[in-house]
Amino acid sequence: MRFTDKVCLITGAGSGIGKATALQMANEGGKVLVIDRNPEGGKATVDEITNAKGTALFSQTDVGKAEDIQRAVDIALQNWGRIDVLVNNAAMMTFKKIVDLSIEEWDMVMSVNLRSVFLFCKLCIPHMSKGAIVNISSVHAHATTANVVPYASSKGAMEAFNRGVSLEYPPSQLRINCVAPGAVDTPMLWNNPNIKSGKEVIEGAIGKPEELAAAICFLASDDASYVNGTTLIVDGGRLDIL
Ligand SMILES: NC(=O)c1ccc[n+]([C@@H]2O[C@H](COP(=O)([O-])OP(=O)(O)OC[C@H]3O[C@@H](n4cnc5c(N)ncnc54)[C@H](O)[C@@H]3O)[C@@H](O)[C@H]2O)c1
- Looking at the domain assignment, is residue 70 inside a domain? yes
In this prediction, what percent of the chain has a pLDDT beyond 70? Answer: 99
d(CA 27, CA 144) in angstroms, rounded, equals 35
Residue 89 Cβ < 6 Å to ligand 1: yes
With cut-offs at 50, 70 and 90, classify the pLDDT of residue 241.
low
pLDDT in tens, 113-169: 999 999 999 999 999 999 999 999 999 999 999 999 999 999 999 999 999 999 999
- The neighbouring-strand residues paired with 35 are 11, 59
CATH number at residue 14: 3.40.50.720
Residue 224, CA distances (Å) to 128, 137, 215, 240 in order: 17, 18, 10, 25
Predicted local distance difference test score (pLDDT) of residue 4: 98
Domains in the chain, number: 1
Residue 242, in any domain of the structure: no
> Which of 150, 144, 163, 16 has the alpha carbon at shortest distance from 90?
16
Confidence of residue 6 (pLDDT cuts 50, 70, 90): very high
d(CA 107, CA 63): 13
- Cα of 8 vs centre of ligand 1, distance in Å, is 17
Respond yes or no: is residue 151 known to be catalytic: yes
**The pLDDT of residue 194:** 86
Q: Is residue 20 part of a domain?
A: yes
In a domain, 196, yes or no: yes
> For ligand 1, is residue 68 a contact (CB within 6 Å)?
no
Does some domain include residue 2?
A: no
147 belongs to a structural domain: yes
Domain that includes residue 124, residue range? 7-237
Nearest CA, atom 34, ligand 1: 36
Q: Please give the pLDDT value at position 198.
A: 85
Name the band, by pLDDT with cuts 50, 70 and 90, for residue 238: confident
Estimate to the nearest angstrom the gap between the alpha carbon of 126 and the chain centroid.
20
pLDDT of 69 above 70: yes
Separation CA 124–CA 133 (nearest Å): 10
Task: Report if residue 1 sits inside a domain.
Answer: no
Q: Is the CB of 242 under 6 A from ligand 1?
A: no
91 domain residue, yes or no: yes
What is the model's pLDDT at position 242?
59
Q: What is the mean pLDDT of the chain?
A: 97
Looking at the predicted structure, is the pLDDT value of residue 90 above 80? yes
Q: Report how far residue 155's alpha carbon sits from residue 172's, in angstroms, rounded to the nearest whole number.
A: 26
Residue 175: partners with Cβ closer than 8 Å, 6 or more residues away: 131, 132, 133, 166, 219, 224, 225, 227, 228
At residue 145, φ and ψ (nearest 5 deg) are -125, 175
CB of 135 closer than 6 A to ligand 1? no
pLDDT of residue 203: 83
Tell me, in angstroms, the distance from the centre of ligand 1 to residue 131's CA: 23
Contact 216, 87 (CB under 8 A): yes
Query: Which position among 3, 58, 80, 151 bears the catalytic label?
Result: 151
Ligand 1 geometric centre to CA of 231 (Å): 18
For residue 36, pLDDT over 70 is answered with yes
Q: Where are the alpha helices (DSSP H) in the chain?
A: 16-27, 39-51, 66-80, 103-110, 116-124, 149-166, 187-190, 193-196, 209-220, 238-241
Quick one: average pLDDT of 24-44? 98
